[in-house]
Every structure is written in structure tokens, then in C-alpha cells.
Amino acid sequence: MSFNHIVIQNILRDKWTYVSYFLSSMFSIIIFFLFSVIVFHPSLKSLDPDSTLGISLMLASLLVYLFSFIYITYSIKAFLRKKTKTLGIFMITGASMKQVRKLVFRENLLIGMLAIMAAIVLGLVITPLFLMGAKVVLKAETFSMYMPLEAISLTIGLFLILFIVISKVVTTFINKEASIQLLKSDTVIEKSIRPHYVLLATSSMMTAFLAYLLKIEHAIVASLGVLFYFLFFVSILCTIYLVIAQGLRLFLKMFEKSSAYFRHTNMLLASNLNAKMKSHANMLFLITILLSGVFLCTSILFSSYYNVKKDSEENYPYSFQYIADPNAEDSMVKADLDYLQSKLAAVKANKYFIEFKSNEDQRLSYMALSDYNLLQQQEISLSENEFIAVAGNQGVAPITNNASDRYIKSLKLAKINEQNLLSTGFQQTYFIVPDQIYQSIDYPIYKTFIYELDNWTAHTELANTITNDIPSLPGERYVTSKIDLYVTEMFIKSVMFFIGSMLSLIFLSAAMSILYFYLQTTLLQEKEKYIGIRKLGLSKKELASVITKELAILIFVPFAIAILLLFTTLLAIRTMVSTAFLQVSIASSCCFFVLFLISYLFIRKSYFKRLVS
């Protein structure tokens, strides 16, 4: 019998141990492969790598690869714990540590190579459908099928390196003493969780304090920068783990003292949870973190669509805005306006003409009250010694200090308008003054022509044509369109939604795979235990009741904690998010609950069937 034959037979004899590892690895590779198919698509050959789409796709591919690295490492270490009994047998029969490590290395490398090949084949099968979906989501004109040789080469190369490195590194943790000791693993009792209530309180207070500093935008946050967010993230993780671990311990202590403890099979359930308290707490923590990431990302990605129109209007208030520079030739301006008039003749558009004078050195502008009223569609009156300060940048308060301004230093501030008046960033601040004062101001005049369309989001092709035919030319004309901005922002949100959705699928798959593998690694031990208990009179129905409750805790407790974290976050930032965010969060939570319920029913049926077989 050759060494490779031993490797293959060892895998086949314990094939169920590798199912979760194989499927999860394959799924991660498929996601990376599909991202690579998009990145190397011929339609994106001219894509700027520094553009939003280029950076987003490459970053997503990196995140998928990084997550695969972490998850596969976790899986292999879990397999080693499961295989220690087998490894101990090999050592007792005379195998050296070098041979054992070689065996484990080849096993994992073989599984990895099979996962890569299966992922490539399955990926090629679903690539046409994936490209069709990407075309719809990204609103691309062409996204036809092609032979993704670059994506195949990159996927095979990177993941082959990943499996070689992980398999080589992880096998160094195998030691003879531990493996032989774990030959007796069925008699080893797992250590229970110790009470750490002081640590829990300290961690909770630290997390709350850091969250408070973040909310009030304290100077400490700015001074520490990335370090603050890292500490905040670590603090959150520590708090969540301690809440789960100490909460599980406290719950079992209280449950054992309640009258429900002696009803039906509750005593056996509590005994199971106590015996595996630490491993259960670790599993609950892992699944909770994965689900929290999925819920938050999904809610943010979906709700981002609802704010695109509002954000576009706040940055570029008008459908089309044409500003003629004081140095622009009249003939060019007339030709541009005639072109605009001809293009907009077929649609219903309101036209406005205003002007403003600009201190070009400081980018401070002055506008007559009559023109301001025309834009605001209201009648605002000012006395001869008053002015209004209006923002020129979205999200930046207008300048109100007029002490050094030679034209309005004697005027009194009557009102502040923090909504930018024209396209954001063109000027810092607009001072609205009475018409007679405006006439006395000696600065260059910028003539502004504004067109506002009804149902403006429906005219994306028209906006694209106009902005392409008469682009902004510094020193001559400045052309902006909220329609064009809306299309750009929707595209960016679509890209982020596309990327986030794929990552969410990975995290969900990982959560279910981790749970499935956890159950598989303890299956033999649990099977032997329940065989002994059934000899004492435990029926299949009673066994099913215990399994049902235990699996429900492992699946729905993390789900409930993740939902609680989601809505706690929403409550904390309620002033920063729209009602759409809350609606999307509730809808997505319901969808995930249905998905988890289906997964729970499937895992319970499969696990119970193997347990009693």
C-alpha cells in the first residue's frame, strides 16, 4: 500500500468530516472566481484601476481571498482536533511525526485541489447567469460571455498557494503527546466557563465610553485616528464574547434552579449545554459576528438607494446649470444656449436666469435679493442694512463673518441658509444683499442659466448627451446636472450593493458551514453518549426533543443577538439615517429569519438522522 493510497483511504473513511470543509472552500473559491471574471472582462479593459469601480472590485476580491484564508485556516485546525484520535493511532503503530505531518499535508492539499477544480467547473457553468445579473445590477451596456482564462489562472494560482501555505503551517502544530492523549478524547471533559462578571462590566463600560466619544466626535477620536477605531472594534468583540459566555453560564445556573429543569428532557438538555458550555459559547460568538456583519452590510447597502435622489438634489440643486464665465465669448455662450434650448424643447422645463458677482480670490459671491427670491420661489424681504449668508458647499456652513468685507461689513446678518445655492463647491458662500447694494458691487459677473425638468430622473440619456456635448471648460463655462450626478451615484451604489451582496453570501455560508462542521466533529462522541442514554430508556422522540432545542439555541440565539445589535446600532444613529433604513432593516431581517428557519429544519433532520443511524 503506497503512502498516497493511505491518504485517499483516510479521506474516504472519514469523508463526512471533510464535506463542510470542501463545500465551504469551493464556495469561497467560486465567489473569488466570479469577481475575477468581472475584473478581467473585456468590457472593462479600459477601466481606470484607480476608479471607484476598479478599486471596489479589487478590494472585494482581496476581502474574499482574505476571508477564505482565515476560514480555511479555522477549518483545518478544526479538522486536526477531529483527527487527533486517528493521528494518535498512526503514531502508536509506529508512524513518525514527519510521516503524520506529511499525511495531513497531502490530505488537505488534495481536498484543496479538488475544491479548486470543482469551483472552476461550477463557476464556468454559472458564469453566463452571473454576467447577466452583473449587467442588470451595474447597468452596463455590454457584459457578454467570454472565456475567462485570466480569471481561471489567477484563481488556481492564488488558492493553490493558499492551500499549500495553510496546510504546511498548520501541520507544524501537531505534536505527539497531544495526539496520543486525545486518543482518550471521549473521556476528556471540557473545561467549564469561569465567572468573569467584573471583566464583563469593565468591557461593557469601555465599549459604551468609546461609542459615546465617537458619537460626540470628541478630539480623542481625531487624535487617535485608525487606532481609536481598532480599539473600538476589539472592545466590541470582547464585550460580545463575554456577554455570550457569561450569559450562557448565568442562564444555565438559573435554569437548574427553576422548576422547569425537572420537566420532560430539560435536565438532559442542561447537562449537554453544561458539558459543552465553552465550545458552545465559542460557536455562538463566531456565528453572531458573521451574522452581525451580514445584517449591517445588507441594511446599509439596500437603504443607500433611497438617499441617492435626495443627496443628488442637495449637491446639484438643478437639472441643468450653465454658468458663463466673465471672460467667456458671447458667441460661444449664445451657441451653447441655443443648443440647450433645442435639446430641451421636447421636454417640459422651467428656465431661470440669474447672475452673481464673485470675489474670485476668496470665492465669495454676492447675489441680488430679487434673483435669490426667483430661485427660492418665495418672497423674502430685507432691509437696506441686512444680508443673508447662503452655503456654497454641501455640508459646510456659510461664512458669516463680514467684518473685513468692504461691501457688507456695515450690514447685519438676517438669516443663514445652509443648503448650497448652486452646484456645491463652485463658491464658498453667497451673500444675498438688497438689489441696490448689489448694483454697487464691483466684481466680475457670472451669468447663470438654470433649467429644471419635471420627473428629472427619467431623462438620464438626455443629461448624458448634453454634458458630453457641452462639457465644463474652466475660464469659459461651467455645466453641471443633478441628473448626471444621480446616474453616477446610482452606479456607485449598484457596485457596492453587488459587492456587498456577494460578501454577505460568503458570510452566511460560513456561518452555516461552521455550525455544520461543529456538529460533525462532535457527532461520534454524541452518538456514543446517546446510545448509552437510550439503553436507560430514552426514546427517539425524547432524543429528538433534546436535539431540536440544542440546535435551536445554536442557530437562533446568534440570530437574535445579531438582530439586537443591528437595531441597537440603528437606535444610536437614528438621527443620521432615514426611515427607509429602518424599513429595509426590518424587511431584510424577516427574509434572513425565513432562510435561517429553513436551514435549521434541514440541519436538524440531517443531524438527527445520522445520530440515530
Cell output for 540: 427517539
478 pLDDT more than 70: yes
Other C-beta atoms closer than 10 Å to the C-beta of 608 total 17
Lowest average pLDDT, out of 92-106, 215-229, 437-451, goes to 92-106
pLDDT tens for residues 156-176? 998 888 888 877 777 676 655
Question: Which DSSP category does 473 fall into?
Answer: B
For 478, other C-beta atoms within 10 Å of its C-beta total 20
Q: How many CB atoms lie within 10 A of CB 51?
A: 12
Q: Which residues contact 94 (CB under 8 A, 6 or more apart)?
A: none
Q: How far is CA 206 from the centre of its chain?
A: 25
pLDDT at 449 over 60: yes
In whole angstroms, give the CA distance from residue 603 to residue 600. 5
**pLDDT beyond 60 at 103:** yes
List % helix, strand, coil for the chain (3-state, nearest 5).
70, 10, 20
At residue 142, the pLDDT reads 59
pLDDT of residue 78 exceeding 80, the answer is: no
**What was the pLDDT predicted at 90?**
62
Query: Is the model's pLDDT at 388 over the cut of 70?
Result: yes
Among 37-46, 249-258, 279-288, 425-434, where is mean pLDDT lowest? 37-46
pLDDT band at 104 (very low <50, low <70, confident <90, very high): confident
Task: Yes or no: say if 545 and 264 are a contact pair by the CB < 8 Å rule.
Answer: yes
Q: Using 50, 70 and 90 to split pLDDT, how confident is the model at 538?
A: confident
Give CA–CA dist 256/546, Å, rounded. Answer: 16
Report, as an integer, the average pLDDT of 271-286: 84
Read off the pLDDT of each residue in 582-587 and give the average, rounded to a whole number. 74
CA distances to 182, 202, 353, 576 from 86, in Å: 9, 43, 84, 56
Sign of CA dihedral 595, 601, 604, 606: negative
Angstrom distance (rounded) from CA 379 to CA 356: 19
Domain segments of the chain as ranges: 1-189, 198-259, 276-310+485-613, 312-484
Does residue 311 have a pLDDT over 70?
yes
Please give the residue that has the higher pLDDT: either 409 or 176.
409
Closest to 139 in 3D by CA, of 467, 490, 481, 482:
490
Supply the pLDDT for residue 13: 58
How does residue 367 score in pLDDT terms, banded at 50, 70 and 90?
A: very high
Question: Lowest-pLDDT range, 6-15, 271-280, 522-531?
Answer: 6-15
Quote the crossing angle between the two packed helices 226-257 and 266-275, to the nearest 10°.
Answer: 140
Distance from C-alpha of 16 to C-alpha of 514, rounded to nearest angstrom: 14
Distance from C-alpha of 36 to C-alpha of 388, rounded to nearest angstrom: 54
Q: Are 82 and 524 in contact (CB under 8 A)?
A: no
Q: How many CB atoms lie within 10 A of CB 345?
A: 8
Mean pLDDT is highest, among 3-12, 308-317, 431-440, for 431-440
Which residue is listed with cell 467560486?
30
Segment 413-421 mean pLDDT: 87
331-345, 465-479, 585-599, range with the lowest pLDDT: 585-599
Over residues 168-221, the pLDDT tens digits come to 777 676 655 545 554 454 445 566 788 888 888 998 898 888 888 877 766 777
| Other Cβ atoms closer than 10 A to 224 | 15
Record the pTM. Answer: 0.70
Pair 123, 30: CB distance under 8 Å:
yes
**What are residue 368's DSSP bridge partners?**
433
For the stretch 18-34, pLDDT in tens is 676 777 778 778 877 88
